[in-house]
Chains A and B, each alone.
Chain A
Amino acid sequence: AAGVIQSPRHLIKEKRETATLKCYPIPRHDTVYWYQQGPGQDPQFLISFYEKMQSDKGSIPDRFSAQQFSDYHSELNMSSLELGDSALYFCASSPGGHREQYFGPGTRLTVT
Chain B
Amino acid sequence: GQSLEQPSEVTAVEGAIVQINCTYQTSGFYGLSWYQQHDGGAPTFLSYNGLDGLEETGRFSSFLSRSDSYGYLLLQELQMKDSASYFCAVNTGGFKTIFGAGTRLFVKA
Contact = CB atoms under 8 A, between A and B. Distances in A.
A100 B42 contact: no
Nearest to A90: B42
Centre residue among B31, B33, B42, B50 by max chain A CB count within 10 A: B42
Contacts of B101: 41-42
A104 B44 CA distance: 10
A100 B99 contact: no
A72 interface: no
B102 A42 contact: yes
B45 A55 contact: no
A18 to B, nearest CB: 25
Contacts of A55: 94-96
Using C-beta atoms within 8 Å of the partner chain, give the interface range for chain B: 20 to 34
A98 interface: yes
Interface in B46-98: 48, 50, 87, 91, 93-98
Interface in A24-46: 31, 33, 41-45
A45 B96 contact: yes
A12 B90 CA distance: 32
A74 interface: no
B31 A99 contact: yes
B95 A56 contact: yes
Interface of A: 31, 33, 41-45, 48-50, 55-56, 58, 90, 92, 98-106
27 contacts: A31-B95, A33-B95, A42-B87, A42-B100, A42-B101, A42-B102, A43-B99, A45-B97, A45-B98, A45-B99, A48-B96, A49-B95, A55-B95, A56-B93, A90-B42, A90-B43, A92-B43, A98-B30, A98-B31, A98-B95, A98-B97, A100-B45, A100-B48, A101-B33, A102-B45, A103-B42, A103-B44
